[in-house]
């Protein structure tokens, strides 16, 4: 390899992350895990452009939030993202898919740009549009609300009206639900 350069979109991503989360490890070329195979971390076959970055959370970037941001506000050049045994691809509408590669990507996020297969990616990969990294910490994604479990509702619907002083299996079922839902003071003694 004579000379190579980084895709401008990856360069922009690295600069944005560095400006918000100084000291973040950002691999582009030379990561030993990628050297032996076709990879966007190697200069592309046609143009000697490196089309991928590996981002760690050691500068304070929250990686799950980062991934969520990437796939909900995809940069125009973004092709796919890998993190924690999952891959999210533009061609598949960014849906969550299992990633079974040798490297689980548990401690870093892999970002690839451009079009075409790894190591042979072609443009567009030189968009200098913002990746919106500064928005991630100011707008963390909302925590998904935990839906009431169906079985809880089903059991409650099946119970008769229970009044103080009632005894028996139905009281026990209700007490079991209370305990299962975190009311630790409730004993399951089948007595209301």
The stretch near Zn ion (CB under 5 A) out of 42-50, 55-63, 85-93, 102-110 is 102-110
Give yes or no for residue 118 binding Zn ion (CB under 5 A).
no
| Cα separation, 3 vs 17, whole angstroms | 25
Phi first, then psi, for residue 150 (nearest 5°) are -65, -35
Q: Is 85 exposed, middle or buried (0-12, 13-18, 19+ CB in 10 A)?
A: middle
Q: How far is the CB of 41 from Zn ion (least distance, A)?
A: 6
Nearer to Zn ion (CB atom), residue 121 or residue 175: 121
Task: Indicate the helix (H) or strand (E) that contains 122.
Answer: none
SS3 state of residue 165: coil
Q: How far is the CB of 47 from Zn ion (least distance, A)?
A: 19
Give yes or no for residue 14 binding Zn ion (CB under 5 A).
no
Counting residues that bind Zn ion (by CB under 5 A) gives 2
Radius of gyration of the chain (CA): 25
The stretch near Zn ion (CB under 5 A) out of 10-18, 84-92, 103-111, 164-172 is 103-111
Nearer to Zn ion (CB atom), residue 102 or residue 164: 102
Q: How far is the CB of 4 from Zn ion (least distance, A)?
A: 16
Nearer to Zn ion (CB atom), residue 81 or residue 133: 81
Residue nearest to Zn ion (CB): 110
Phi first, then psi, for residue 155 (nearest 5°) are -65, -40
Q: Residue ranges of the alpha helices (H) in 48-168?
A: 63-72, 134-138, 150-158
Give yes or no for residue 110 binding Zn ion (CB under 5 A).
yes
Which tokens go with 102? 């040798």
CA 17 to chain centre: 17
Give yes or no for residue 54 binding Zn ion (CB under 5 A).
yes
Which residues in the 72-101 window bind Zn ion by CB under 5 A? Answer: none
Nearer to Zn ion (CB atom), residue 50 or residue 54: 54
Beta strand pairing call for 49-50 and 5-6 = parallel
The footprint of Zn ion (CB under 5 A) covers 54, 110
């Amino acid at each position: 390899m004579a000379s190579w350069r980084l895709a401008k979109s990856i360069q922009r991503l690295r600069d944005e992350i560095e400006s918000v989360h100084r000291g973040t490890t950002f691999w582009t070329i030379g990561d030993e895990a990628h050297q032996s195979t076709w990879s966007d971390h190697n200069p592309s076959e046609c143009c000697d452009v490196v089309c991928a970055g590996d981002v760690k959370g050691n500068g304070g970037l929250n990686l799950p939030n980062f991934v969520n941001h990437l796939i909900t506000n995809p940069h125009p050049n973004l092709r796919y993202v890998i993190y924690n045994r999952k891959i999210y691809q533009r061609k598949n509408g960014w849906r969550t898919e299992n990633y079974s590669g040798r490297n689980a990507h548990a401690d870093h996020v892999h970002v690839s740009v451009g079009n075409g297969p790894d190591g042979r990616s072609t443009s567009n990969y030189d968009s200098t549009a913002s990746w919106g990294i500064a928005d991630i910490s100011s707008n963390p994604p909302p925590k998904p609300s935990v839906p009431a479990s169906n079985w809880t509702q089903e059991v409650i619907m099946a119970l008769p009206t229970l009044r103080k002083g009632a005894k028996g299996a139905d009281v026990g079922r209700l007490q079991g639900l209370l305990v299962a839902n975190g009311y630790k003071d409730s004993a399951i003694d089948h007595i209301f």
